[in-house]
Structure 1
Amino acid sequence: MTGLLWPGDHRAGDAFSDASVVAAAVRVESVWLSALGEIGVAPRFADGIVDEAGAALADDAEIAALAAAGENAGNPIVPLLSRLRDLLADRDPDAARWLHAGLTSQDVLDTALMIVTRDTVRAIRAELDGVITALAGHLDRHRSTPMIGRTLTQPAVEITAGVKIAAWCDGVLDADDDLTALRFPASLSGAAGSRSGTVALGVAAPRDLADTVAAGLGLATTHPWHTTRAPITRAADALQGCTAALGRIATDVITGSRPEIGEFTEPTAAGRGGSSAMPQKVNPVLSVLIRRTALTAPALAALIHTAAADAGDERPPGAWHVEWEPLQSLARHTLAAARQAAELTAGLQIHADAMAGRVARHRDDIDAEHRTLGRLVGRDDIDARGDADAIVDATLTRIRQREDHP
């Protein structure tokens, strides 16, 4: 995954890569086969035999071959199984025959997607830790810094930088809450979602077997969800919400970093922000790329919801297939944006003098509401900062509570 047309994709690393999906699918098959052996339905095979055989599939050429072969079956699990059986047959022909017994390709792919989504969400939350810590520091330093509050692009009333930063932070905290609330269930219900294959193998308690395998994979248990796509749509919503929270910060930084405003400056790095034609420019590239992600994410989430709405029968033709790539893109893009945002907020320069100077220049305009309300109540001593201190304190309390109960 080169990411040529998605600058910054490299920041997502191996998260939700094709290789990670293949590795997760192999792990699902391995834990399932071991569980069948544990309950005496299948022979007990050497520990790790499936994982060892599947390690060969991490090769780039192998993954490319699986991707091409997936066209014939409509999903990558069918050719993966064929290749994995070949690799297993060299070690233990019985293991090759028992591989995947009682499962269907949707079980394996859906469960693998839950594994890699869970891992990516963990990585995103780790980056949000850095964003929140950085914003808390800015809150402490600039809680009382006066600045202009803008509505519909125009000066409105005086606020403080603390109020603005608190709003940024509350958005990130909300996004983190949504990511934390996600559940990642295994999908182990067989060909048509009834666990009929498991029953046919002679498993006395199919749900218990599914629960055991889910626990072995570090996943939650649930009812069959082949055509009940809430685990996917909820993940998409939480990821999209995260990009929106980060995008709001980026949009404010873009506006505030205009030279004629000069309230914010992005952290610098060698070669960053340059122009191919104008050598004097230093563009706010981190914010631009974060905003790009925030603008792209809703369409990806909407596509996943559209697919869920069309998930009929016991396995949908086409709608299920729609989900995979948008979920991968959404997860990787969100992680890259979170890492960009962690760098942005840690190194963000907030120019209090520029903020205060602009407040002074626009004093007559931004005090208009206070003058009007002051006449209404017979006062001329209205605090222009409003409830700014309480707003900042409430956000700082949320941050401390999160630290106490991660």
Structure 2
Amino acid sequence: MADLLWPGDHHAGEILTDAAILEAMIAVEAAWSAALVATGVAPPEAAVTADTLRGLITGADRAQIAVEAESGGNPVIPLVRRLRDGLGSSPAATWLHRGLTSQDVVDTALMICVAEAFAAIAGELDRQVEILARHADDHRATPMVARTLTQQAVPMVFGLKAALWLRGVLDAREQVDALRFPVQLGGAAGTSAAVVELAGATVNPGHLVAETSTIVARELGLEPSTPWHSVRTAITRAGDAAVGCTDAWGHIANDVLTLSRPELGELTEGAGGASSTMPHKANPALSVQIRRAAISAPQLGATLHLAAADAVEERTSGGWHAEWAAIRDLVRRSVVAARQTTRLVDDLRVHTNRMATNLADAGDAVRSEQVSMATIAGHRPEANYLGATTYYIDAQLERARITGAMDRGEAR
């Protein structure tokens, strides 16, 4: 169900919904079962598939698990209890979850869901790169007035503004590219003592935990890792990437909001939103909603960093729990903003005549700096005052080409 108070939430689909997180936790339990059997820790009859486990949980169970999670402070405890009850007296029930702890399941499940979200975000970023590169190239000679601190400054071209939007999106894409999504498999206190004990005295502990991590990661599409229990870098980096994305999108949205004011009229959204009482209005609704995400994202990212800084001992009391809703809201809302930004830049209407008119109406004032510079240099002002604009546009277009984001965007 979409969020009534976050219009556009439906664009995120099932990403990081309760159902998706529960599904991911079940996948973690099944992958761990497969790893125990594959390494010989558990007997073959202990194996259980995700499909089997999934079939043991009903819609009513999902709601009740959320209620019962309060008792132990996390949803894994009631989930495992139901799964074991459903498996009856079988070896699969006996071995289910053995060697894991609740934090392993929650953290790894979140990595699954967050990785899915950033795959969607990456696709939108690539599409935005392709669209913004086209705007920058098409409008490299479209004159307009630059504005600083809300006031008219000097002449520029719209292609440079689009190139700077492109730069922000490329920076965000780099942050997303750098993300890693590791499994968390450390047992009660990050020592993996339980699984080593289950394996017996003849096992090589390092080899065993490395093998189980590799198997689970392969099953889930994540990266093998040693335990990271109270080191929350995997979470904070994902949060930082989401905030970096919304920063870039917020910049675009703010420019569109400003330049679409009727008194400027240089840009408009492809399909403005309606007003409930004023039929003449075409509100820049997409830009408003993108700006909303950019305004709210930093606080959610700060919650993740505060939780990480508050880390204590081998599992943080309260800080760990505070991450869950923050990372869900931050990343899910970023998916929404990503898709809205793609629509915004793809359908953007650039009113070149209005840009030229506003520049002309600014008169000689916008060339006052040029006159001063020419006077100091002892020559007449040049025909234009655009400096190295072409070079700066080309630099971002080349960067987009080198990263391959344009090719990926076109392929989609």
Residue of structure 1 equivalent to 2:152: 155
Q: Normalising by the residue count of structure 2, what TM-score does the alignment of the two structures yield?
A: 0.94
Partner residue in 1 for 2:66: 67
Aligned residue runs from structure 1 range 24-63, under 5 A: 24-45=24-45, 49-57=49-57, 59-63=58-62
CA RMSD in angstroms comes to: 1.6
Q: Distance in 2 between matches of 1:190 and 1:364?
A: 71
Query: What is the alpha-carbon distance in structure 1 between the residues aligned to residue 49 and residue 173 of structure 2?
Result: 38
Deviations 1:311-354 (A, max 9, x none): 10100110100000010001110000000011111100001111
Asked whether the equivalents of residues 213 and 225 of structure 2 are also in contact (C-alpha less than 8 Å), the reply is: no
Deviation (angstroms), 1:87: 2.3
Q: Which of residues 90, 97, 100 in structure 2 aligns to 1:100? A: 97
Kept in 2: contact 1:54–1:87 (CA 8 A): no
TM-score w.r.t. structure 1 length?
0.95
Q: Please list, as runs of the form range in 1=range in 2, the aligned pairs for 1:135-284 lying within 5 A after superposition.
A: 135-202=132-199, 204=204, 205-268=208-271, 273-284=273-284
> Could you tell me how far apart the structure 1 residues matched to 2:135 and 2:87 are?
56
Could you tell me which residue of structure 2 aligns to residue 371 of structure 1?
371
Matches of 2:375 and 2:219, distance apart in 1: 69
SS of residue in 2 equivalent to 1:150: strand
Task: Tell me the CA shift for residue 60 of structure 1.
Answer: 4.1
User: Could you tell me which residue of structure 1 aligns to residue 107 of structure 2?
Assistant: 110
Deviation of 1:55 after TM superposition, in Å, equals 4.0
Structure 2 unaligned spans of 5+ = none
Q: Could you list the per-position Cα deviations for residues 262-320 of structure 1 after superposition, in whole angstroms to 9, with x for gaps in the alignment?
A: 0111011xxx6111221211100000000000000000000110010111010011010
Q: Percent identity?
A: 46
What's the CA shift for 1:194? 0.8
Is 1:79 paired with 2:82? no
SS at match of 1:320: helix
Structure 2 residue matching 1:157: 3-state secondary structure = strand
Alpha-carbon distance between aligned partners in 2 of 1:252 and 1:161, rounded to the nearest angstrom:
11
Q: Which residue of 1 aligns with 2:400?
A: 399
CA distance in 1, matches of 2:330, 2:48: 32
Residue 104 of structure 2 contacts residue 186 of structure 2 at CA under 8 Å; is this kept in 1? yes
What code does the residue aligned with 1:225 have?
W
Displacement of 1:47 after TM fit?
6.4
Q: Which piece of structure 1 moves more, 353-362 or 199-208?
A: 199-208
On the 8 A contact 1:69/1:79 being kept in 2, the answer is yes
Matched letter for residue 167 of structure 1: L
For 1:48 and 1:129, the matched residues in 2 are separated by: 39
Between the aligned partners of 1:55 and 1:394, the Cα distance in structure 2 is: 54
* AA at the equivalent of 1:164: K
- Using the TM superposition, name which of 239-248 and 61-70 deviates more: 61-70
Distance 2:281 2:28 in 1: 51
Give 1:208 shift. 2.5
Asked whether the 8 Å contact 1:182–1:235 carries over to 2, the reply is yes
C-alpha change, 1:374 and 1:10, in structure 2 (3 Å) is same
Write the distance in 2 (CA, Å) between the matches of 1:354 and 1:400: 31
